[in-house]
């Protein structure tokens, strides 16, 4: 089986981050929100997705 080095690095980072907070999900989320709040790059919201009306709702 092929192992993607980028995915492996992501898994290592995730495990290290979880260990820093003793696997406490609420603490990990709070930390990530703080990182996001302080991130210098601009935040870009994706455009809204237009949903077409269903056939059964059309007159």
pLDDT of residue 26: 97
| DSSP class per residue in the chain | ----HHHHHHHHHHHHHHHHTTT-HHHHHHHHHHHHHH--SPP-PPPPPPPPPPGGG--
pLDDT of residue 12: 97
Distance (Å, whole) CA 7 – CA 57:
43
pLDDT of residue 58: 55
In the predicted model, is pLDDT for residue 7 greater than 90?
Answer: yes
pLDDT of residue 4: 94
pLDDT of residue 10: 95
* 9-35: pLDDT as tens digits: 999 999 999 999 999 999 999 999 999
């Amino acid at each position: 089986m092929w192992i993607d080095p980028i995915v492996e690095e992501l898994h290592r980072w995730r495990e290290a981050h979880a260990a820093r907070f003793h696997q406490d999900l609420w603490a990990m989320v709070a930390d990530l929100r703080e990182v996001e709040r302080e991130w210098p790059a601009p935040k870009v919201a994706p455009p809204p997705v237009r949903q077409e009306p269903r056939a059964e709702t059309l007159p």
